[in-house]
Structure 1
Amino acid sequence: MVSIQSGAAFAKQLFPAIGPAGTTTLRVGFAALILLALRRPWRRSLSMRDLGAVALYGGALGLMNLLFYLSLRTVPLGIAVAIEFAGPLAVALWGSRRPADFAWIGLAVLGLALLLPLGDASGVDPLGAALALAAGGCWALYIVFGQAAGRAGGPAAVALGMTVAAVLVAPVGIAQAGADLLVPATLAAGLAVAVLSSALPYSLEMFALTRMPRPAFGILMSLEPAIAALAAMPLLGEVPSPLQWFAILCVSAASIGMTASARRRT
């Protein structure tokens, strides 16, 4: 999580040079190349149905990254991640019927209500918040489609999905940044973002998941909005207000509660 959010903060510093779409293009493009070299998915044959599942997964992945980076133009990193967390929370809450689950729903709604531009107190740009919320919707689809793609393609699905994401995002990034994408310093920065935000954290996640229970992993992942806010303070100078900190912690606490509740049901 520290790697992902440090990469996001570093990526935001590239916006003046190549814009959020150009930055997304470099991130997913380099990540696809790295994952293709590591996973070599061409060694496994997939049916048309399997390829369709991978294509949906890759499409959700590409849109999620693009919309999230677009939101970062006007929304602080920690707040954008907290709003985006509505996606995985919605997946976790789907089908919940226990009374305790509705308490966690209420806590998540409270946090989001304090962050979303529903009144004068939030101070959050409405368009940026909408983009972050749309990225959360794509995150939910990424989870759902990722399960199907994982069953269809196994480890190769990640590399193929990232390739689909790169193909989807590249035209938008090229249209926005053009030849500026090929500046050597920009390419080097894009490679660093891809390593920090995709290649390294995906590897660390796989390492962690083989050595700890999934519910414990989910509880730790719930700290991501707070980690994003902490990373943005020294790297971007973005300091949330006390009310925004409270809202971010509400979203994280709701995610922790839902994960713990799911563990008890299991």
Structure 2
Amino acid sequence: MYAGAAVAVGLFGHASPSGVAWLRCLGAAMVLLVWRRPPKEAWRGRRLLLAGTFGVVTAGMNVVFYEAIARLPLGTVVALEFAGPVAVAAIGSRNRRDAIALGLVAAGVVAIADVRIAGSLLGLVFALAAAAAWAAYIVLGKRVAIGGDGIDSLAVGFVVATVLLSPLALGAAQVWGSPRMLVLGIGVGVLSTVVPYGLDQVVLRRLGRARFAVLLALLPVTASVVGFVVLAQVPGVVESLGTVAVIAGVALRSREDTGPITEPPG
């Protein structure tokens, strides 16, 4: 995911943030179609509607996230976006232990992210929109995961999203004349979408939405670890304390929200 984000930022000089997000969606759709070859049933009725809605919401989440990081520091956007998973986890909290765990996780993410609002109101709006979309991604992703083969539905969803959001391709017009840029765009789709979202579908079949939302707090922790190991970026005291808080919160969160894999009602 973070390798894909690094490639995406490199493409911002050749395409708009929305255009890069659409290239990511296109790349993911192409790779998933070749890999999964969803059966005819996946393209019909309610299964198609759910997959399409999930795909559009997920692609939209990527669009507003890229627009946000084009205007605000990445750490700020990550912290604001995490309000979405926090809301899902809060709704699924069952007791005081969960509330304490959620507080530790939220404080840890803020500490790691080093929040600074850089005076861009539009950037703030995009970041909060990404938070809302992330919450919707978790809720819809759970329904997709328990409603059939989630990765097949992921493929269908990104095809639908690529078609419906195709006007955004205008923002990537410069890329179409460069095979190298097109390959990088597809690479972003594989690294940032196919691999992590495919794994999300596996995990969502086994965990409740609230616990999954809390586990997402490990993303900024992972980013810090990768930065330390690969880039020799030594975290400060506050970031280190934030990492400990996130890990403690994830460990403290109750596991009562897991349940059997069943077909969604209705």
TM-score normalised by the chain length of structure 2: 0.75
- Taking structure 1 as reference, are residues 234 and 145 closer, same or farther at Cα in structure 2, changes over 3 Å only? same
Post-superposition shift, 1:57?
0.8
**Separation (CA, whole Å) in 1 of partners of 2:258 and 2:14:** 49
1:170 maps to 2:166: yes
How many residue pairs get matched?
253
Post-superposition shift, 1:83?
3.0
- Taking structure 1 as reference, are residues 143 and 88 closer, same or farther at Cα in structure 2, changes over 3 Å only? same
- Taking structure 1 as reference, are residues 242 and 15 closer, same or farther at Cα in structure 2, changes over 3 Å only? farther
- Kept in 2: contact 1:115–1:124 (CA 8 A): no
Unaligned residue ranges in structure 1 (runs of 5+):
none
1:89-112 alpha-carbon deviations (Å, 9 max, x no partner):
321221424111222343345457
**More deviation in 15-24 or 77-86?**
77-86
Query: Structure 1 vs Structure 2: percent identity of aligned residues?
Result: 34
- Kept in 1: contact 2:28–2:189 (CA 8 A): yes
Letter in 2 for 1:262: R
- Taking structure 1 as reference, are residues 244 and 38 closer, same or farther at Cα in structure 2, changes over 3 Å only? same
Post-superposition shift, 1:178?
2.2
1:204-243 alignment runs, 5 A limit:
209=203, 214=207, 218=212, 221-231=216-226, 243=238
Unaligned residue ranges in structure 2 (runs of 5+):
260-266
Post-superposition shift, 1:56?
1.7
**Separation (CA, whole Å) in 1 of partners of 2:68 and 2:228:** 18
- Kept in 2: contact 1:71–1:132 (CA 8 A): yes
Aligned-pair Cα RMSD in Å: 3.7
1:159 maps to 2:152: no
Aligned to 1:27: 24
- Kept in 2: contact 1:66–1:169 (CA 8 A): no
Letter in 2 for 1:123: R
**Separation (CA, whole Å) in 2 of partners of 1:136 and 1:6:** 21
| Larger proportion of helix | 1
Aligned to 1:193: 188
TM-score normalised by the chain length of structure 1: 0.75
Q: Secondary structure at the match of 1:13?
A: helix
**Separation (CA, whole Å) in 1 of partners of 2:23 and 2:258:** 41
- Kept in 2: contact 1:30–1:191 (CA 8 A): yes
Post-superposition shift, 1:73?
1.2
